Amino acid sequence: MKLLRRSLLSMAVLASTMGMNNAAIAQASQGAVLRIVPHSNLAILDPIWTTAYMSRNHGYMIYDTLFGTDEKSQIKPQMVESWTESADHRLWTFKLRKGLEFHDGKPVTSEDVVASLQRWGKRDAMGSALMQFVQRMDTPAPDTFRIFLGEACGFVLEALGKPSSNVPFIMPKRIAETDAFKQIEEHIGSGPYIFKKDEFKPGDKAVYLKNTKYVPRNEPPSGTAGGKKVFVDRVEWNLALRDPQAQVNALQKGEVDIIEQLSFDHYETVKNDPKLQIPKVGNLGLQYMARFNHLHKPFDNPKVRQAALAAFAQEPFLRAQVGVKELYKTCPGMFICGTPFGSAVGSEIQSKGSIKKAQELLKASGYDGTPVVLMKPTDLAAIAKLPDVAAQLLRQAGFKVDLQAMDWQTLVGRRAKKDAPDKGGWNLLITGWQAHDVWSPIANPTIDGRGEKSGWFGWAKDDKLMELRDQFLRATDEPGKKKLADAIQTRAFEIGTHAPLGEVDVPLAAGKNVTGFFVTNGHIYWNLKKN
C-alpha cells in the first residue's frame, strides 16, 4: 500500500507539471525508485556556474553532451552522429543524431548546440582555451553545425567531450543565451532524466524522473559515453543525510540504495557486510589539492607559497584523511600519476620538503604574521580531515592559522569571493579533483596564470606560465606535448599555483540489490537496476 500511495502521488504530481511533454514524464505506477545519498548538498543548479561536482552530477542527470569520454579516456560520439575535419584541421563539421528532443518536447537543433558552447566557453578553462582558436561557428542545417578555427589546435574533440567540470552540456538556445555570469532559471535538457523542480528542496532532496522519450545510443555504457539506458522511474537524492554513520545505518536498513562517497572510517564495515557492496566505478584516482589565494597576504608572496609547499608532505594528509592504505598513494606531480603527463619533474620543493625547510623559507620570505584563513568543510567526509592536517603543518612551519569551519556549499560560495580574508574572503582552501579534471595542462583549471581573469579560484598570475600553456595548446605531437607539460608543471611549482596532496580512491557503497555499475570516474546514474 505504501508503494501504491507513493506511485499514485507521483502520478498526480506529474499530471500537474507545467511545460513538460506528458509522454516524456510518464512513468509506470509500480516503477522502481533509486535513493541516493550524494556527497554534498545541491545548491547551484547551473552546471557551468561552478566546478562543484554536485552541480556537474545534476547536469549529467538532465543534459546530454556532444561527445563522451569512455573508461579508457577515449573520446566517443554521444549526441553527434558523424563529423569531418578538413585537411588543414581548421574546419570541423558535425551532424547530430536523430531522435534528440528536449524535455519540453522541442527538437534539439544546431542552434541550441552553438548557443550552449558559446556560453560554456565563457566559463570553463578548457572551453575558454578552445574559443581562443574559434573564429566563428555556424548552423548550415538544423542538424549540422560547423566550427571554423583561425589556426589548427589539437584538442577540439577533447574539449567537446570533456567529462568533468565544467561540462559542455547542451540546453535550449533560449536558456543558453542567458548571460554566462548570471545563473540560468530553467533547467531543461535532453538527457535521460527530467528534473522535478517543484520537488526540489535545497538541503533536503532533489528528484529526477525517467525521460521515457530519451533515445540512448546502442553502445554499452563506459565513462560518460555509450548508451544512457534508464531502468528506474525515479531517482531521489537525499540531501539532508550528512552524518557518515547515519548514512551507513540507512544503507544497511535499505532506506537508501547508494552512498555516493563512503566515509573512509566505514570502509571496512561496508566491505564486510554481505548485504552491501563497494562496486568498481573508477580506474583513476581523485587528487587532493591545497589551493592558495594569490590576491591577498600572505600568499600574494611567492616565497611564502614556497614555504607552504615545503611543509605539505603528502603522506600526513593521506594517512589522516584516508587511513586505508589500499585506497591512497602519494604522487609528486600536479598531473595524475599513470596518465600521459604524470611526472615528478620540478616537484622537489614539495616532494623533498620538510618542516625545517619550510621554517627556513618562511623566515627568508619576510612573513609578517598575517593569519592564514583556512576553510574547513564540516559535511564532506571525503576531505573533512585535510584542513586540520594543513593547519597543523602550517603552524609547525611558523604560520598563524585561522581555521574556519562551514558546510561545503557555504565554502563553495565563499571561495568565489575576492574580498580580503577578514572581509569574508579566504587564504587557503583544500579540495579534491577527479582525474579527468587535472590530468593535463588544458583540462586542469588551476594551471592558469591569467590572474583575476582566471576561470578558477585562487587567481594565480604568471605570464611565463601562460606562454608555456599557449604553446601546449598549439602542440600537435605527443612528445612535444609531454615536454611542454613538464615545463608547465615545473613553472607551476616555482610560482606555487597550488600544492597537490596525493591521490585517493573514494569508495561508493550500495546495496547488493542495485546492479549495473560500470566505470565512470565520476557519479553517473544510468544503467542501474534495482532488484
For 393-435, how does the pLDDT look when each residue is reduced to its tens digit (9 = 90+)? 999 999 999 999 999 889 999 999 999 999 999 999 999 999 9
Positions of the chain with pLDDT lower than 50, given as ranges: 1-30
Q: Are 315 and 330 in contact (CB under 8 A)?
A: yes
- Least Cα distance to 46 among 125, 126, 129, 116 occurs for 116
Q: Is 218 exposed, middle or buried (0-12, 13-18, 19+ CB in 10 A)?
A: exposed
- pLDDT of the residue at 285: 84
Residue 240 is given by DSSP the state: S
- In angstroms, rounded to a whole number, what is the distance separating the alpha carbons of residues 261 and 508? 5
Nearest partner of 327 among 260, 278, 264, 269, judged by Cα: 264
Record the cell numbers describing residue 424, joined without a space.
Answer: 569574508
Distance from C-alpha of 123 to C-alpha of 452, rounded to nearest angstrom: 13
**Cβ density class 10-43: b for 16+ within 10 Å, e for less:** beeebeebeebbeebbebeeebbbbbbbbbbbbb
Cβ–Cβ contacts within 10 Å for residue 84, how many? 10
The pLDDT value recorded for residue 406 is 96
Reduce the DSSP state of residue 199 to 3 states and report it.
helix
The yes or no reply on domain 286-504 and CATH 3.40.50.10090 is no
Residue position matching grid coordinates 600572505 = 298
Rounded distance, CA 11 to CA 350, Å? 57
Backbone angles phi, psi at 501, to 5 degrees: -115, 20
Q: Which residues pair with 144 in a beta bridge?
A: 95, 141
Number of C-beta neighbours around residue 485 at 10 A: 27
pLDDT of residue 485: 97
- Give pLDDT, residue 177: 98
CA distances from 531 to 106, 257, 513, 516, 526 (A): 34, 11, 5, 11, 15
Number of helices (H), then strands (E), belonging to the chain: the values are 18, 23
CATH H superfamily, domain 2-235: Periplasmic binding protein-like II (3.40.190.10)
Give the pLDDT confidence of 38-78 residue by residue, as tens digits.
999 999 999 999 888 999 999 999 999 999 999 988 999 99
What contacts 352, CB < 8 A, 6 or more positions away? none
Q: For 92, left (φ over 0), alpha (ψ -120 to 50), or beta?
A: beta
> What is the domain partition of the chain in residue ranges?
2-235, 286-504
Cα separation, 248 vs 251, in Å, equals: 5
| Beta carbons of 426 and 293 less than 8 angstroms apart | yes
The residue type of 202 is P
Tell me what pLDDT residue 318 has: 97
The C-alpha atoms of residue 152 and residue 2 are separated, in whole angstroms, by 60
